[in-house]
Amino acid sequence: ATKKDWWQYAQFYQIYPRSFMDSDGDGIGDLNGITSKLEYLKDLGVTAAWLSPIFTSPMVDFGYDISDFFDIQPEYGTLEDFRALIKRAKELDLKIILDFVPNHSSNESIWFKKSVNRERGYEDYYVWHDGKVNATTGEREPPTNWLQYFRGSAWEWNEVRQQYYLHQFAVQQPDLNYRNPAVVEQMKRVLRYWLKEGVSGFRCDALPPLFEVLPDAEGQYPDEVVSGATEDSEDRNYLTVKYIENQPETIDMVYQWRTVLDDYQRIYGGNSSVLLIETYAPAWFTMQFYGNRTREGAHLPFNFNLITVMEEKGLSAGHVKEAIDLWLNNMPAGRTPNWVLGNHDKRRAASRYGKEYIDAMNMLVMILPGVSVTYQGEELGMTDGEISWEDTVDPWGCNSNPSIYEQYTRDPERTPFQWTSGTNAGFTNGSTTWLPLAADYKTVNVESELAAEESHLKIYKELMALRKSSKTLQNGSTKYWVIGDDLFVVLRTYGDEDKYLLAINFGSKEETVYLPDLADRSLFRLIIKSLGSELTLGVWYGDLHVQPAEALVL
Ligand code: ISL
């Protein structure tokens, strides 16, 4: 086997800084809080932590609206605090990855202010348009029917400039204009700036809306076709989105960013840094982000299939197989697969799949080939918080109304991390938290789960350790089957090395698998089992009976 690079064996962990650890009692997580918990990550077995945005921001979208891409949000700390974080991470041999948000800035960015005033060099920094005149009423209208992700029109009238600007997200997040080479270069500067600060790569935010279709000769953009998927004309799903997502230029831009990273390494040496990219697109499009025959792209375009296929079709062995096929059967040869169970935009894994499946899903992503990405709290089986309309702060929720907000808000998956069973779950010494805690923190927390004989956390740590030490899991080949009605089985083999078998029962009745049929009459040993399993660890041969929701690693 050819020698692999660090990221091909890595275990990635997403930190949502606002909710990870608060060091100064204001109820908001911060950099010093993260630094104080790096040993926890090390102990988990994490290779690289990705921090959601920590840059200067009015916090309309909690950091995804950046007003200064080159500085730290004061609530989170200072550049000095960041340097201390990097230093401590290096001591622990942990890598730090930052969020790179290329699609938009905050409307409070100096770039936007200059663009509003048509200052030289900034006139076309954003996507501006005169709009059109309604033939019947004679009134001014937005250029197209395009909708933002967070409900409502994607165009906003600007009084000063007397033009509309495009915002695929909130009104306060104007889209940068990637057809302007100055913008492209500016954003490459952002990458180089943080590489210089010692980060090991980036998670690139929101790739689908990076480019829009080119306007026609008269400067007009096409309307999107109404989809019929929803009758709610504010909801983006009201449209069949074709002109404002996944344009081919986006793929080339990712290749260019890769070049920035590779050039940096060529000039300054050190380890390679990685690009993880957030994209939602059909497989044929997504796979191009990995690169092509002549160019390298993202090291890891996120694989959200275990989220999206299940959301659409429900959790079952067949659908899990479908999600895995969708990635592995489309991935170009020689690339590294990856498996994502959740993030700060999706209901927490334990809530979405069902609490009883959290061990099973953690086993799945760590037994499958490639790398896994954990969202903070998945290792504990953290569940969603219950957030009232009054407490709702996510713009997607706020842009709706009390009767439908739960369908849009992302607050439930962003509640503070649960460290202890004490006051405010040990997240802060202060008396408040920026979002209420999830109700189950007294039992679901690091302290209790470390103290317990068995826990989700302990299972997670065993899996991480296994993944780190096993040549088979790192390099082996993979087979998987649906057996019986709802049993999912994965087998990893690698020459004469130990084989690994994972069996998960997604159904409601006992399932049986005859082990010798699957793996050359091998003798197996049960080494990890989901919480609540009544089997005893040890040698297995012949029939393996798996109970509903039980998950076993042999
Ligand atoms: O959240 C989604 C689906 O549940 C997506 O449509 C999401 O809006 C999209 O993937 C982009 O998300 C990213 O960029 C947004 C930010 O609000 C999200 O938190 C971030 O992950 C704008 O920067």
Question: If you take atom 14 of ligand 1, which residue's CA is the nearest one?
Answer: 206
Residue 72 within any structural domain of the chain: no
* Site to substitute for ligand 1 among 150, 205, 279, 399, most atoms within 8 A of C-beta: 205
Tokens (6 digits) for 272: 């390679």
Q: Report, as an integer, the average pLDDT of 400-408.
A: 97
- Statement: residue 1 has pLDDT above 50: no
Question: If you take atom 3 of ligand 1, which residue's CA is the nearest one?
Answer: 345
CATH number at residue 118: 3.90.400.10
Q: If you measure from the C-alpha of residue 344 to the centroid of ligand 1, how many angstroms do you get, rounded to a whole number? A: 9
- Statement: residue 130 has pLDDT above 90: yes
Question: If you take atom 9 of ligand 1, which residue's CA is the nearest one?
Answer: 206
Residues lining ligand 1, judged by CB closer than 6 Å? 61, 64, 101, 149, 169, 205-206, 278, 344-346
Please identify, by atom number, the ligand 1 atom nearest to the C-alpha of residue 346: 4
Q: Report, as an integer, the average pLDDT of 327-353.
A: 98
Residue 3: the pLDDT is 76
Residue 193 within any structural domain of the chain: no
CA 155 to mean position of chain CA atoms:
27
Q: Report, as an integer, the average pLDDT of 526-542.
A: 95
Q: Report, as an integer, the average pLDDT of 289-304.
A: 97
Residue 522 within any structural domain of the chain: yes
Residue 131 within any structural domain of the chain: yes
- Statement: residue 170 has pLDDT above 80: yes
Question: If you take atom 12 of ligand 1, which residue's CA is the nearest one?
Answer: 206
**Of the residues 227, 243, 259, the one at which a domain ends:** 243
CATH number at residue 532: 2.60.40.1180
Question: If you take atom 22 of ligand 1, which residue's CA is the nearest one?
Answer: 64
Q: If you measure from the C-alpha of residue 206 to the centroid of ligand 1, how many angstroms do you get, rounded to a whole number? A: 6
Q: If you measure from the C-alpha of residue 343 to the centroid of ligand 1, how many angstroms do you get, rounded to a whole number? A: 10
**Alpha-carbon torsion (522, 525, 531, 534), positive or negative:** positive
Residue-range definition of the domain harbouring residue 163:
103-177+213-243
Q: If you measure from the C-alpha of residue 447 to the centroid of ligand 1, how many angstroms do you get, rounded to a whole number? A: 31
Q: Report, as an integer, the average pLDDT of 154-173.
A: 98
Residue 2: the pLDDT is 59
Total count of domains within the chain: 2
CA–CA dist 172, 112 (Å, integer): 10
**Of the residues 243, 260, 293, the one at which a domain ends:** 243
Beta strand segments in 232-342, E: 239-240, 274-277, 300-301, 338-340
Task: Report the DSSP beta bridge partners of residue 504.
Answer: 488, 551
CA–CA dist 334, 190 (Å, integer): 30
Residue 148 within any structural domain of the chain: yes
- Statement: residue 176 has pLDDT above 90: yes
Please identify, by atom number, the ligand 1 atom nearest to the C-alpha of residue 344: 19
Which ipTM did the prediction report? 0.95
Question: If you take atom 18 of ligand 1, which residue's CA is the nearest one?
Answer: 345
- 132, 175, 317, 321, 323 from 553: Cα distances, Å: 62, 47, 16, 17, 20
Please identify, by atom number, the ligand 1 atom nearest to the C-alpha of residue 343: 21
Catalytic positions, please? Answer: 205, 278
Residue 395 within any structural domain of the chain: no
SS3 181: helix
Q: Report, as an integer, the average pLDDT of 184-210.
A: 98
Q: Which long-range contacts (CB under 8 A, 24 or more apart) does 77-85 make?
A: 77/30, 77/31, 77/32, 81/30, 81/31, 81/32, 81/35, 82/31, 82/54, 82/197, 83/197, 83/198, 84/31, 84/32, 84/35, 85/31, 85/32, 85/34, 85/35, 85/38
Residue 35 within any structural domain of the chain: no
- Statement: residue 156 has pLDDT above 60: yes
Tokens (6 digits) for 134: 């309604």
Q: Report, as an integer, the average pLDDT of 71-90.
A: 98
pLDDT digits (tens, 9 = 90+) for 246-282: 999 999 999 999 999 999 999 999 999 999 999 999 9
Residue owning tokens 């899903």: 361
Mean pLDDT for all residues in the chain: 97
Please identify, by atom number, the ligand 1 atom nearest to the C-alpha of residue 278: 10
Residue 114 within any structural domain of the chain: yes
Q: If you measure from the C-alpha of residue 20 to the centroid of ligand 1, how many angstroms do you get, rounded to a whole number? A: 19
pLDDT digits (tens, 9 = 90+) for 416-441: 999 999 999 999 999 999 999 999 99
Q: If you measure from the C-alpha of residue 265 to the centroid of ligand 1, how many angstroms do you get, rounded to a whole number? A: 30
Residue 204: the pLDDT is 98
Please identify, by atom number, the ligand 1 atom nearest to the C-alpha of residue 61: 17
CA 312 to mean position of chain CA atoms:
18
**Of the residues 221, 243, 265, the one at which a domain ends:** 243
